[in-house]
Amino acid sequence: MVTTTTRGTRELTTHARAASRWPVAVAVAIPALLWLAHTVLGRALNLFETGTAIAGGERILAGETPYTDFFAFYGPLTYLVPGLAHRVTGSVTTADFGQALLESVAVCVVAYAIAARLSGRRVAALLVPLALAMLGAATVRTLPALVSVLLLTRFEATGRRRWAVGAGAAGGVGLLWIQDAGAWICLAIALVWAASLAFPAARRLDWRAFCAYAGGVAAAIAPFVVWMLVRGALGAWLYWTFVFPNTGYTERSATAYVSGLVESALAASPPRALYVLAFWVLPFPAILLVAAGSVVTAVVHLRRAGIGRRAHVPLPLTTVVLTVYAALQLRVMLASVDEAKLASASAPAITAGLALALWALGRRRGLDADAGAGGETDAGSGAEVGGRSRTRWPGRAVALLAAGWLVLYPAWSQVRSLSHQVGGPVPQVVASVGGLPFQDAAPPASSPADVGALLAAVDAHAAPGAPILVLPTSPLLYPLTGRPNPTRYDYLDPVYTTPQVDAELAADVRSGRIALVVLTTATFPGTDLTAADLAPGTVAAVHERYEAVATVNGFTLLAPRTR
């Protein structure tokens, strides 16, 4: 027999669970709506970066070894996951869209969960996924590392080392994905552990927990290390993923990138200049302002609260790790960078800064936790210390950001889809956007319709499964056409395309193994370097042994000469 009291308790429990789930649903909906708007308004295929990932994954699934059989300088999961998605779905567009959607949702949900735990405010913490989505920071680059931080919050709350093992495993996955994020989270853990030996105020990571974390990292990377040893490619993996990116690309900086954008904007027509300044330059100060302002605000209030100055008020482990990781990840500003890399690299700084600011401001004003019953929490620990909420500013801020995103993102997506694409030729024509003349505003040559016409032309001039070569930066055409690349290089790059690489590619062209060459007028992203600039010997060999048989939207198809 169920009593009224029992029934009422169950109803209250059900209501509490529903109330605790709706912010998570909102965090899921934010990136989902973003990608939906992006797709409805029309997307250009990223022939370069998406193509590099999927083509590399296809080569791994075909039995090739990355770093030796073909050039790669990201972790193997960067290629293998998109390759598996393509193999399972059988569609490049479905695999690309589905993976990007899931990654964006995962980053937003994980970042929200971290912010909610650190701040103790479930509603106000929705500022974090909104900010990440609006600034383009919800990318896979930092996903494994943020998962590692989230699992650390569980370790700190429970003291159970299995959560530390799980956090280490997530960090190990990061090393096998886009390796810089994985390296920085592992380094952050090591630095915090080392600091805890000298500073009692931070002593929450003992040697047993640190060993548990290290064991999780080792368990995650061990199968891949064994595979690399069997293939004789362990040294190549370590060099191309950890040494080469930090030596070969150091001459490119964020300062030079932004100054180049500003110079190009000043030299362009007013509509084009407005576009460049608003949608390419603006993300830099916006991201840095959010990250820096939030962190400074949090530090000021933490100092006023006396956190960390007395041994009996220890700094929360998760707070320290996330802050150190955020600072290390922003090192990307000193290396090769564009607005997308800066945005994704800023994700941990935005998450930490906003979470700490919400906690600190709430502590100062005596805000209650968003659940309505507890109050303030110790940042990172979940301990309640306050009273009732006396302000609605977090909810209003969320509503304001949501309204701004709903207005601005579709406009941003529409203009960018018209005037920017990666890996394909850019049509040099004047069209109109909103009635204004706009240079280069024709639909890009990598739109699905244009690529469809190109695929039909490839089918007409090359047998199914016949090897083709695409130059310089459109490797997505390999999986799109279902034809392999017989060379070691899926695209040309200003740094690794040395004279030796050029000579190797030229020899491949003269070998007679290539059934069709697809040559585009595209330049390497961020430069004016064409295929002839990047690999002059290879292009000369193409014109020596091949002749043009078709031209489709800036793509020239060349078949072997018959005479």
Q: Kindly tell me the burial class for residue 40, based on how many C-beta atoms sit within 10 Å of its own C-beta (0-12, 13-18, 19 or more).
A: exposed
List the structure tokens of 219: 């368990």
Q: Where are the domains of the chain?
A: 20-362, 448-560
What are the angstrom distances between the C-alpha of 58 and each of 24, 52, 64, 340? 35, 10, 9, 25
Q: What is the mean pLDDT of each run of 10 residues along the chain (563 residues)?
A: 49 45 71 61 70 93 94 92 92 81 85 87 82 71 91 88 94 91 89 75 71 95 95 93 76 58 67 62 61 60 51 63 81 53 73 77 52 43 39 55 52 43 46 39 57 90 94 90 94 89 95 92 76 92 93 89 79
Which DSSP category does 332 fall into? G
Q: Rounded distance, CA 152 to CA 381, Å?
A: 11
Which DSSP category does 136 fall into? T
Please calculate the CA angle 467-479-98 and round it to the nearest 5 degrees: 175
Residue 552 bridge partners (DSSP): 555
* Backbone CA torsion sign across 453, 459, 465, 469: negative
Residue 471 bridge partners (DSSP): 519
pLDDT for the residue numbered 120: 81
Q: Rounded distance, CA 467 to CA 464, Å?
A: 9
Q: Rounded distance, CA 85 to CA 531, Å?
A: 30
What are the angstrom distances between the C-alpha of 152 and each of 41, 183, 221, 371? 39, 16, 19, 23
- According to DSSP, the β-strands at 516-520 and 555-560 are antiparallel
* Helices 127-134, 92-119: inter-axial angle, 10-degree rounding: 140
One-character DSSP codes across 161-230 = HHHHHHHHHHHHHHHHSSHHHHHHHHHHHHHHHHHHHH-GGG----HHHHHHHHHHHHHHHHHHHHHHHH
Non-local (6+) Cβ contacts of 535 within 8 A are 471, 472, 492, 497, 501, 502, 505, 506
What's the one-letter identity of residue 299? V
Non-local (6+) Cβ contacts of 411 within 8 A are none
What are the angstrom distances between the C-alpha of 122 and each of 80, 146, 358, 381? 35, 18, 10, 15
Which DSSP category does 558 fall into? E
Non-local (6+) Cβ contacts of 318 within 8 A are 114, 117, 118, 149, 152, 153, 156, 380
pLDDT for the residue numbered 557: 94
Query: For the range 284-287, what are the long-range contacts, defined as Cβ-Cβ under 8 Å and sequence gap of 24 or more?
Result: 284/254, 284/258, 284/339, 284/342, 286/135, 287/135, 287/137, 287/342, 287/343, 287/346, 287/350
Non-local (6+) Cβ contacts of 7 within 8 A are none
pLDDT for the residue numbered 130: 78
The maximal CA–CA distance of the chain, rounded, in angstroms, is 94
